Amino acid sequence: MFPFGARRAPPSQLPRPIPPFLRETTNSYLYRLAMANQLHPDDLRAHLTGTRHHAAITVECLSAATGRSPHSLLHALPELQPDTTPGTDPPLPTHVRRTICWRCATRRSAFIFAVTWQPAEVTLCPNHRIWLGPPVPAHRGGQYDVTGLPDILRAQRRHYRLARRHGRQTTADAVAEAAHITALWARHGLHADRRRPLIHAFLGHTPLTGRLPSGDPITAVVTYPETIDLARLLATPRWRHPTDPATKREVREFRRDVNHHLAIRYQPQDSPYDPLFRWFRKRHVSATHASTRPADCPAPRRGARVTSGKPSPQRGGTASSLPGSHSKHAAFPSVRSS
Ligand SMILES: [Zn+2]
């Protein structure tokens, strides 16, 4: 049961064997268990494994130390499940670490910074409407109560629907991409009408410029409704997996869809560095390469360096099609007439 050099008998039971939260990370549970029993986390690990050297925490030793059945521990702690490869992060597909809602923690008299694995689409505590989404509050930070912000509550429901419709992985990818775009918009004060009342709700005022500083902790929550609406568009197969190079007609239709989904006046031609149009362009450049590679790509020369599939300056397009190009036409690099 125990590794060579470690204790051969099970560890004795701890005086306060607190229960784990459902899907709690093993480190979080061990930390809370140590705090509850007034132990240093390293001392608790030594007690469980019988050695001061590195040794894996097993469900058997935890069961002996807490008096909880191996079955219940395996149910609560996914990293201990036998089919999980040690070190796999996350241990469950498309799950992310979320600090548990402080009200749920208080109800259990638990240390408030317990961390659990949650499906990526869970951004609110369903019981207390506490924001759990990114960024995970550091130990110094509090958690936001969004009970009085129906725009955010509705966005969470749309987020769930998106995951059911497109699957968790596609949704997680689209939301991450959309969040990056809306964070840049917030930083530059673009398309701010919908965001402004949310910023006011959190800060008590609205910045005169309408801009949020880079890395502001409220960015993810105040941009969440527009992020989900944009993610819905980015997850659409037509835009996510285009089969042909972009045409002017497609650009017009993409712009129309953006305006419809986000209720904004999106004008990519006026914003050559707009992150959303970069996303559109990147998708279509990939489609261009995919559709032309067999005919256009000669076999690599001997000794040529093998690269990833990412577009590069040497493969397709002109200099004006490259991200960061200063050409006034850079916004429509690979667009051809329909
Ligand atoms: Zn809660």
pLDDT band, very low/low/confident/very high, at 14 (cuts 50, 70, 90): very high
72 is a domain residue? yes
Give the list of residues 6+ apart from residue 125 with CB closer than 8 angstroms, or none: 101, 103, 104, 132
CA 129 to ligand 1 center in whole angstroms: 7
183 is a domain residue? no
CA 32 to ligand 1 center in whole angstroms: 18
- Give the three-class secondary structure for 162: helix
pLDDT at 112: 65
Whether the predicted pLDDT of 306 surpasses 50: no
The Cα–Cα gap between 223 and 330 comes to 27
Q: Are the beta carbons of 238 and 256 closer than 8 angstroms?
A: no
Whether the predicted pLDDT of 295 surpasses 90: no
CA 125 to ligand 1 center in whole angstroms: 5
28 is a domain residue? yes
Closest CA to 174 of 184, 183, 163: 163
pLDDT band, very low/low/confident/very high, at 312 (cuts 50, 70, 90): very low
pLDDT at 93: 82
pLDDT at 119: 94
79 is a domain residue? yes
The pLDDT of 172-187, averaged and rounded, is 94
Both structure tokens of 226? 């527009």
The Cα–Cα gap between 311 and 289 comes to 8
CA 124 to ligand 1 center in whole angstroms: 8
Q: What is the CA radius of gyration of the chain?
A: 25
pLDDT band, very low/low/confident/very high, at 296 (cuts 50, 70, 90): very low
Number of domains in the chain: 1
CA 15 to ligand 1 center in whole angstroms: 27
The Cα–Cα gap between 45 and 62 comes to 10
pLDDT at 206: 84
Percent of the chain with pLDDT over 70: 77
111 is a domain residue? no
CA 187 to ligand 1 center in whole angstroms: 30
pLDDT at 83: 74
Whether the predicted pLDDT of 13 surpasses 60: yes
Q: Are the beta carbons of 124 and 155 closer than 8 angstroms?
A: no
Q: Are the beta carbons of 309 and 288 closer than 8 angstroms?
A: no
318 is a domain residue? no
CA 194 to ligand 1 center in whole angstroms: 27
CA 65 to ligand 1 center in whole angstroms: 28
pLDDT at 135: 66
pLDDT in tens, 77-100: 999 987 776 667 787 888 999 989
Count of alpha carbons within 13 angstroms of residue 185, beta-carbon side: 29
The pLDDT of 12-31, averaged and rounded, is 94
Both structure tokens of 118? 């949650």
pLDDT in tens, 244-275: 778 888 889 999 999 999 989 888 765 657 89
pLDDT at 291: 58
pLDDT at 269: 63
pLDDT band, very low/low/confident/very high, at 201 (cuts 50, 70, 90): very high
Give the list of residues 6+ apart from residue 277 with CB closer than 8 angstroms, or none: 268, 271, 331
CA 106 to ligand 1 center in whole angstroms: 9
CA 185 to ligand 1 center in whole angstroms: 30
Whether the CA torsion 164, 167, 173, 177 is positive or negative: it is negative
Identify which has the larger pLDDT, 334 or 80.
Answer: 80
Least confident of 182-196, 203-217, 236-250, 295-309: 295-309
The Cα–Cα gap between 219 and 222 comes to 5
Please provide the distance, in angstroms rounded to a whole number, between the alpha carbons at the two ends of the chain: 69
CA 46 to ligand 1 center in whole angstroms: 33
73 is a domain residue? yes
Map tokens 């017009």 to a residue: 252
- Give the three-class secondary structure for 98: strand
CA 23 to ligand 1 center in whole angstroms: 15
The Cα–Cα gap between 239 and 261 comes to 14
pLDDT in tens, 99-149: 899 888 888 776 667 899 999 999 999 999 999 987 644 445 678 999 999
Map tokens 């040529």 to a residue: 304
Q: Are the beta carbons of 137 and 211 closer than 8 angstroms?
A: no
Whether the predicted pLDDT of 307 surpasses 50: no
The Cα–Cα gap between 314 and 87 comes to 38
Domain of residue 25, residue span: 1-92
Cα angle 267-268-273, degrees, rounded to a multiple of 5: 135
Q: Which DSSP string corresponds to 20-69?
A: PPTTB-HHHHHHHHHHHTT--HHHHHHHHHS-SS-----HHHHHHHH---
Question: What number of other Cβ atoms are within 10 A of residue 272's Cβ?
Answer: 19
Question: What number of other Cβ atoms are within 10 A of residue 29's Cβ?
Answer: 25
Computed over every residue of the chain, the mean pLDDT equals 80
CA 168 to ligand 1 center in whole angstroms: 23
CA 222 to ligand 1 center in whole angstroms: 20
Least confident of 31-45, 100-114, 169-183, 311-325: 311-325
Whether the predicted pLDDT of 189 surpasses 60: yes
71 is a domain residue? yes
Whether the predicted pLDDT of 46 surpasses 90: yes
CA 136 to ligand 1 center in whole angstroms: 15
Identify which has the larger pLDDT, 75 or 316.
Answer: 75
